[in-house]
Structure 1
Amino acid sequence: MTLSDNDRAIARFTMLAHGIVHWFELAIPIFLVVWLDVFDVSVALVGLIVALGYAPFGLGALPAGVLVDRYGPRRLVLVCLGGMSLAFATLALAPSIYAVAASLLVWGIVASVYHPAGLALISTGVEDRGTVFARHGIAGNLGIALGPFATATLLLVLEWRLVAVALAVPGLLAALYGLRLEFDPTAATDSTDAGSAGSLSGSEFLENSRSLFAGAFVLVFAVVTFVGLYYRGVLTYLPELLGDLPAMSGIEPPGGLEELELGDYIYVGLLVAGMAGQYVGGKLTNRVPVARGLVVVFVGLAVLAVAFVPVSGLGIAAVVAYCAVLGFALFAIEPFYQEAVAVYTPPDSRGLSYGYTYLGMFGLGAISIAVGGAVLEYATMAAFFGALAVVALIGAGTALALLARPIPSGIGTGESTAATEDAADD
């Protein structure tokens, strides 16, 4: 099916915005390593500060949904793009790590708007939603990979404050481009599968939430939260951990690069491998029961967590191979939990379900950043990865409980296929 002009315009707008959101998000762990040195602070403190920025990225998803209903998704996406860019630019003026915390907090608040607004815009304005959701997910993955790559590369030639400003420029340009685009954000509202408009009253919100968590969604929400804990913990600290590995010490990168920078590029390679993992995971959701797939990937993540310390002593080739497998598995689980939301929730609560999904993934998942920083500061790297393994195993146990729950009636093949395409979104 050929996309209409309206579909193409919305696709360009949301793909660009989705990529920019993750461009900023995954640049932060690269800066974390710099801030440790520049401000001479502990890993525990920096971890707490980064968590302060990441937490509202998820915690703000539910109130952001209310704002989307009131002011419209296009306006909110534009506010998100401009706000994120300005917040990142203010990092250049930060005189202390606490000023960095303030900038990251503002970034997290405005970034939380994107997923409810972007997905709402696609659901109400696009006729061929499956194609646009797939492209939307690919754009997000590109942002995930390009953000840390661009940050690491710019840090080779620029002072970190200038890098923060440079990273803000694409976001501002995207906002200006979005202002010029013309499209109808409600072109698909007559479709029977389009999301319903209108805002919930406080009592309706509480009643719908209570009904949602009374069913199998409570297990889905727990699964997503465990994914978020593992995802945030490993992706936040891996650049620092890779830079400190003995495997890096005997290597002289070209151009006088430091060991830290080599670790950054290995980290980017992990994120690129994640694109393949997400694609394969999305294909498998059509062939494997979603709960069973969650169990298998969680167990794989637990094994990978336990394996990090012994593999890190086997040399650079082993570390690169390990990171490729880790990136593949870490992103392969995303289509499964996105599919689980669609399979185990009723269609008329789907928007609320995905709002809670982002709350668990990005909001509660940020707890592992603060806890992980403390573990690395006061314990060992082995303890850190051991804790991640425990998180993955608890997630596997929760998915096993979900496997025992019957799939609600009324979810057809078409619904499942749409959910698989939604899985490309992060």
Structure 2
Amino acid sequence: MALNDNDRSIAAFAMLAHATVHWFELAIPIFLVVWLEAFDVSVALVGLIVAIGYAPFGLGALPAGLLADRYGPKRLVLVCLAGMSLSFATLAVAPSIYAVAASLLCWGILASIYHPAGLALISTGVEERGTVFAWHGIAGNVGIALGPFATATLLLVTDWRIVAVALAVPGAFATLYGLRARFDPTAAVADDDGTAAGASNDSLSPTEFVSNSRSLFAGPFLLVFAVVTVVGLYYRGVLTYLPELLNGLPAMAGIEPPAALEELSLGDYFYVALLVAGMAGQYVAGKLTSRVPVARGLVVVFVGLAVLAVAFVPVSAMGLAPVLLYCTVLGFALFAIEPFYQEAVAVYTPPDGRGLSYGYTYLGMFGLGSLSIALGGFLLDHATIAALFATLAAIALLGAAIALKLLVGPEPGSESASTESTTAADD
């Protein structure tokens, strides 16, 4: 079915905003390599600084969702876009790594607004939600790939401070577009008399919030939340340090790049290839979610990620082609897990708790998951690359074990699952 005018308007705004969020997010690991030299600091310190920026990206999801309910999702998305752009622009005047930390902290707080507000806007304003959610995800992947690609390319020709300002320009454009966009944010949930349904402020009360949260975690969502947190730990641990690690590989030093390129840039483009391969992973896994039990899919992908983590050190000693192939397979697997955990949230949570579930999902993915950034920096500074990837393999196996518990547990929606959830809540 074709999208109506309101659906198209919301889709365009949300897709542009989603791409912008990830444009900024995945540019940061490219800057990490530059900041190491610009401020002459340790990997552990820069890793901690980046973690400070990424942590509120997830930790702010719950309050952001509540604010979106109170003030409206479009207004919150506009604040997010304008704030992220301004935060990135302030990097240009950062006199120290600690000033960089302050800018990244502001960015993380403002970026945390998008996912709960953007998803709320689509869910209440769009009639053809499935179609728009699909395009919305693709737009996010475009931002994920283009952010580091643009950053790496611009760093070849100009100073990193100028690059930071340049990266803020699309965010400013998205903000101006959003100010001009016209749509009904509650068109899909309007009552017959034209008033919006589901916009009650009752859900903002502390008592309701605590009660709903307790009910949610009394059931299988506790395991889903653990799965998503493990995904976040692996995701952040790999993507944050991979540009630096790739640039230091013998395979990268064994070729003669064109004079216009520096050795730094080659690993960055391999990193972009990984992110592009992730788009294929998301597409294929998205198709499989309707054919494979979600818990089984999670187990398989987690085991694959564990194997890939163990394989990094031996593959890194090989030639350029094996490293590129490795990056492609890793990117495919790393992003293939996303449709499975998103489907798990829908399968293992009640419809009336879905909004709260998404808030907790991003808290686990982007908030608690950022802990691996600081851990990764510590391991690279005080141990070895092998220790980092052994830790990532252990994290992936932990995720497989949790997903296996979901697989062997009661079927979603079954009487035993409902009884278990009710009993736990009563306790």
Fold shared per TM-score above 0.5 = yes
Match of 2:57 in 1: 57
SS of residue matched to 2:32: helix
Question: In the TM superposition, what is the alpha-carbon distance from 1:190 to its structure 2 partner?
Answer: 3.2
Contact 1:343/1:407 (8 A) holds in 2:
no
Report matched runs for 1:290-301 at 5 Å. 290-301=294-305
Whether 1:215 and 2:224 are equivalent positions in the alignment is: no
Q: In 1, Cα distance between the equivalents of 2:116 and 2:191? A: 20
- Stretches of structure 1 lacking an aligned partner (at least 5 in a row): 412-426
Match of 2:152 in 1: 152
Match of 1:259 in 2: 263
Match of 2:35 in 1: 35
Question: In the TM superposition, what is the alpha-carbon distance from 1:100 to its structure 2 partner?
Answer: 0.0
1:111-157 C-alpha deviation (Å, 9 max, x unpaired): 00000110000011110111110110000000000000000000011
Whether 1:21 and 2:25 are equivalent positions in the alignment is: no
Aligned residue among 369, 374, 385 for 2:378: 374
Q: In 1, Cα distance between the equivalents of 2:208 and 2:75? A: 25
Match of 2:350 in 1: 346
Contact 1:290/1:340 (8 A) holds in 2:
yes
Q: In 2, Cα distance between the equivalents of 1:378 and 1:34? A: 21
Contact 1:344/1:407 (8 A) holds in 2:
no
Match of 1:118 in 2: 118
Q: In 2, Cα distance between the equivalents of 1:177 and 1:410? A: 46
SS of residue matched to 1:184: coil
- Stretches of structure 2 lacking an aligned partner (at least 5 in a row): 416-427
Q: In 2, Cα distance between the equivalents of 1:196 and 1:208? A: 16
- The amino acid across from 2:200 in the alignment is G
Match of 1:383 in 2: 387
Contact 2:21/2:114 (8 A) holds in 1:
yes
Contact 2:92/2:164 (8 A) holds in 1:
yes
Question: In the TM superposition, what is the alpha-carbon distance from 1:196 to its structure 2 partner?
Answer: 3.1
How high is the sequence identity, in percent, across the aligned residues? 79
Question: In the TM superposition, what is the alpha-carbon distance from 1:195 to its structure 2 partner?
Answer: 8.3
SS of residue matched to 1:183: coil
Match of 1:240 in 2: 244
SS of residue matched to 2:188: coil
Question: In the TM superposition, what is the alpha-carbon distance from 1:410 to its structure 2 partner?
Answer: 7.9
Distance 1:195 1:101, change over 3 A: farther
Report matched runs for 1:63-82 at 5 Å. 63-82=63-82
Match of 2:199 in 1: 197
Question: In the TM superposition, what is the alpha-carbon distance from 1:409 to its structure 2 partner?
Answer: 2.3
Q: Number of residue pairs matched?
A: 410
Report matched runs for 1:130-209 at 5 Å. 130-190=130-190, 196-199=198-201, 200=203, 201-209=205-213
TM-score by length of 1: 0.95
Q: In 1, Cα distance between the equivalents of 2:399 and 2:115? A: 24
Q: CA RMSD in A?
A: 1.4
1:145-182 C-alpha deviation (Å, 9 max, x unpaired): 00000000000111000000000000001100111111
Match of 1:286 in 2: 290
- The amino acid across from 1:50 in the alignment is V
Report matched runs for 1:326-337 at 5 Å. 326-337=330-341
Contact 2:156/2:262 (8 A) holds in 1:
no
Distance 1:27 1:335, change over 3 A: same
Q: In 2, Cα distance between the equivalents of 1:195 and 1:98? A: 46
Distance 1:6 1:366, change over 3 A: same
TM-score by length of 2: 0.94
Q: In 2, Cα distance between the equivalents of 1:405 and 1:89? A: 49
Q: In 2, Cα distance between the equivalents of 1:93 and 1:136? A: 33
Question: In the TM superposition, what is the alpha-carbon distance from 1:408 to its structure 2 partner?
Answer: 3.3
SS of residue matched to 1:3: coil
Distance 1:191 1:375, change over 3 A: farther
Match of 1:308 in 2: 312
